[in-house]
Structure 1
Amino acid sequence: MLKRVWRGWTSPENADAYEQLLRSTIFPDIIGRKIDGFLGIELLRRPLGTEIEFMTIMTFTDHDAIVRFAGPAHATAVVPPAARELLSRYDAEAAHYDLRIA
């Protein structure tokens, strides 16, 4: 099992709007794709002084499932235009981890 971890940062003023976009549009769109091997997505949020950091953790059965989600350049971040408008910065690539203990 693999975890795909990605981070983005936004201003406190945009944080609630960004979270709402994730909850109402982006996550449902990902789930609606019914990607074989996609098991779920988690959202973490924390304040960091003048920014709010968001972290998404997606769970996949294997590498091929990540490629089905992100394409051949599987490490490249998948950030829709509406999200880019609300983020002040974000990781250009996601990190992939083998789940060792659950």
Structure 2
Amino acid sequence: MKKSIRRVHAFSLFSCGFLTLLMSKTIPVQGGGVSLIFVLTIPFFIIVGGIFGIISFYGLKNRKRKNIRILLLLYFYLSLLIGTILMFPFK
């Protein structure tokens, strides 16, 4: 895999951590204790996205089979998206 493509994957995984911020501006949110959820989930997903980005940049370049790389990247993206949606406090 080319280095520039690996950088794009790593940066996009890191930026998936900020989805909760984008969702809070566009989707109605419950009141009250929701701020605590935001304080806990936003840094968590930013850190997890950063870890996944580092793994995808450095760890996936040594994989010989392209199918395994694609499956791992898909797993990283889906786990961040599903986690963000499940932990988001919808109204």
TM range (shorter): 0.3 to 0.5
| Larger fraction in strand | 1
| Larger fraction in helix | 2
TM-score (norm 1): 0.31
Greater radius of gyration (CA): 2
TM-score (norm 2): 0.33
